[in-house]
Chain A
Amino acid sequence: MTRFSAFSLFANALSSHKKWPQHWPDAAPKASYDAIIVGAGGHGLGAAYYLASRYGITNVAVIEKGWLGGGNTGRNTTIIRSNYLYDESAHLYDHAVKLWDGLSQDINFNVMYSKRGVMMLAHNVHDVQSFKRHIHANRLNGVDNEWLTPEEAKAYCPPLSIDPGARYPVLGAALQRRGGTARHDSVAWGYARAAARLGVDIIQNCAVTGIRRGADGAIEGVETERGFIASKKVGVSAAGNTSVVMQMAGLDFPLESYPLQALVSEPVKPVFPCVVMSNTVHAYMSQSDKGELVIGAGTDQYVSYSQRGALHILEHNIAAICEIFPIFRRMRMLRTWGGIVDVTPDRSPILGKTPVKGLYVNCGWGTGGFKATPGAGDLLAYTMAKDEPHRINAPFNLDRFRNGRLIDEAAAAAVAH
């Protein structure tokens, strides 16, 4: 496998870029592995990569029912931030942001992490008070966040309308400068390539059909469409399908799966320099490096696995965008899609061990899992390798729904993740 560098780019240019080798082989399943990850999204591939690179377990398979990165990894709006209110969440998401920082060098694949800043708009007095509280809490946790006046917000993001007569007046904004975007496909491809280089097998089009447990209840392996694969450690990172996979092991989970929609406009020249989120009117937007405006909505109201949502959700979303950014009123939208997000009752993820020995889970990221990709991968790998959670993900255990130690970000943090 070629290492990407300016030299390899130049050398391959001489053959018109026709001789680049395969990034990762299409592996066939072996009879057994030291660890299996179910789900080849960013989180699952990241976990496989960190198992091999940091925790010394290289005999690993990642099993995917569809194609790599074809679930929520390829369907999100690529926003990265860590300005969460509670200590546990701030530590968890900031762990990921710190890993984003050196990720392209680490996996030798440009994930196009761009620290363009994430600005959250305050439209009413409650927003102002709550964001200022967030800013102070974040700074005590070492997470950068600062308050902007409407004029400063306008200077940071010129398309913003701060007209006091606007339907959603801007009273100020909270800005996390380290926040930004990354290219979602590159994250999946980069992790897959880096993991495969360390010996990880990536097995696509191979749905898990059952989880086999021994007489003592411990994990023995997974049944798949391509036969039984043995392993004493199985990590499930299956986002919206987690409930379905967990029921194969006889576990009921506190999860509900909802469609979350997004859409992009036709590509235009650079016009939108940062990420802007408005939780009150439920819209968020950024511009991709290709030039499309990337817009996200809130979840649909009912449980579904359909990977599509209702049009009226998008209509509401677009109406809000047009009010806040009147310059985009005549912009044409190119396509819309939906992904299935697994939502927990307290809107915080579940990342750790399960009651079944050898079965680990990374789920419940709801509408905001992309930003946590490297962190979730690393912490799932740590938990699987050591058979105990890292202190960062220890509070995000499954027991919290029994003992009541919820991490209730739903009420305290941004609505849109």
Chain B
Amino acid sequence: MILIHCPYCDEKRPELEFTYAGEAHIARPADPSTLSDEEWERYLFIRANPKGRHNERWRHSFGCGRFFNAVRDTVTDKFETTYKAGEPRK
């Protein structure tokens, strides 16, 4: 089982305590009514889905309950780092 470091609890805990929450740093449109169909498609559906380094969101559901971001390699599933929500992309 993967061990994940929660940046809020500052502890490495088993994957079972966490919920994956998709790609990170996808900002909700500031002014939704002005968006074109292409921009909606990109926001809602298009994903990077990289083979390699992936910035993603996780939630420590069965711990502190907070969302944070992580960098994980999608080939080895190894976590490079985790950081608090709101911090710049690593």
Q: Which residues of A contact B23 (CB under 8 A)?
A: 303
Q: How close is A297's CB to chain B, nearest CB, in angstroms?
A: 15
- Contacting residue for A302 out of B20, B38, B44, CB 8 A: B20
Interface string of B15-36 (1 = CB under 8 A from A): 1100110110000000000000
- Contacting residue for A312 out of B1, B44, B54, CB 8 A: B1
Q: Which residues of A contact B42 (CB under 8 A)?
A: 252
Say whether A257 faces chain B, with CB atoms less than 8 Å apart: yes
**Which of B62-79 touch A at CB < 8 Å?**
72, 74-77
- Contacting residue for B45 out of A244, A254, A301, A305, CB 8 A: A254
Considering the complex, give the chain A residue whose CB is closest to the CB of B2.
Answer: A310
Q: Which residues of B contact A243 (CB under 8 A)?
A: 47-51
* Contact between chains at B41 and A303 (CB < 8 Å): no
Considering the complex, give the chain B residue whose CB is closest to the CB of A309.
Answer: B77
* Contact between chains at A345 and B19 (CB < 8 Å): no
Q: Which residues of A contact B15 (CB under 8 A)?
A: 310, 312
Known: A310-B2, A402-B37, A402-B41. A305 touches B47 (CB 8 A): no
* Contact between chains at B47 and A306 (CB < 8 Å): no
Cα–Cα, bound, A254→B40 (Å): 12
Known: A305-B74, A311-B1, A312-B16. A253 touches B49 (CB 8 A): yes
Cα–Cα, bound, A241→B75 (Å): 12
Say whether A64 faces chain B, with CB atoms less than 8 Å apart: no
Q: Which residues of A contact B37 (CB under 8 A)?
A: 402-403
Q: How close is B19's CB to chain A, nearest CB, in angstroms?
A: 7
Q: Which residues of B contact A301 (CB under 8 A)?
A: 19-20
Known: A252-B46, A302-B72, A305-B75. A401 touches B1 (CB 8 A): no
Q: Which residues of B contact A276 (CB under 8 A)?
A: none
Say whether A256 faces chain B, with CB atoms less than 8 Å apart: yes
Most buried by B among A303, A306, A311: A303
Considering the complex, give the chain A residue whose CB is closest to the CB of B16.
Answer: A312
Considering the complex, give the chain B residue whose CB is closest to the CB of A300.
Answer: B20
Cα–Cα, bound, A305→B20 (Å): 16
**Which of A329-345 touch B at CB < 8 Å?**
345
* Contact between chains at A305 and B51 (CB < 8 Å): yes
Q: Which residues of B contact A253 (CB under 8 A)?
A: 46-47, 49
Could you say which interface size class chain A belongs to? 20 to 34
Cα–Cα, bound, A402→B43 (Å): 11
* Contact between chains at B41 and A401 (CB < 8 Å): yes
Cα–Cα, bound, A402→B2 (Å): 36
Q: Which residues of B contact A310 (CB under 8 A)?
A: 1-2, 15
* Contact between chains at B45 and A257 (CB < 8 Å): no
Considering the complex, give the chain A residue whose CB is closest to the CB of B38.
Answer: A402
Q: Which residues of A contact B47 (CB under 8 A)?
A: 243, 252-256
Cα–Cα, bound, A152→B19 (Å): 39
Q: How close is B35's CB to chain A, nearest CB, in angstroms?
A: 12
Cα–Cα, bound, A414→B14 (Å): 30
Cα–Cα, bound, A255→B22 (Å): 12
Cα–Cα, bound, A79→B30 (Å): 45
* Contact between chains at B74 and A304 (CB < 8 Å): yes
Q: Which residues of A contact B75 (CB under 8 A)?
A: 304-306
Known: A255-B47, A311-B1. A306 touches B41 (CB 8 A): no
Cα–Cα, bound, A244→B37 (Å): 24
Q: Which residues of B contact A401 (CB under 8 A)?
A: 41, 44-46
Considering the complex, give the chain A residue whose CB is closest to the CB of B18.
Answer: A301
* Contact between chains at A241 and B74 (CB < 8 Å): no
Q: Which residues of B contact A302 (CB under 8 A)?
A: 20, 56, 72, 77
Q: How close is B82's CB to chain A, nearest CB, in angstroms?
A: 13
**Which of A280-319 touch B at CB < 8 Å?**
301-306, 310-312
Extra 5 A-B pairs, beta carbons < 8 Å, given A254-B47, A305-B75: A241-B51, A252-B47, A253-B47, A305-B51, A345-B45
The 3 closest A-B pairs by CB, nearest first: A254-B45, A243-B49, A301-B20
Interface residues of B (CB under 8 A from A): 1-2, 15-16, 19-20, 22-23, 37-38, 40-42, 44-51, 54, 56, 72, 74-77
A-B contact pairs, 27 of them (CB 8 A): A243-B48, A243-B51, A244-B49, A252-B46, A252-B47, A252-B48, A253-B47, A254-B41, A254-B46, A254-B47, A255-B47, A256-B49, A257-B74, A301-B20, A302-B20, A302-B72, A303-B74, A304-B75, A305-B51, A306-B74, A306-B77, A311-B1, A312-B1, A312-B16, A401-B44, A402-B41, A403-B37
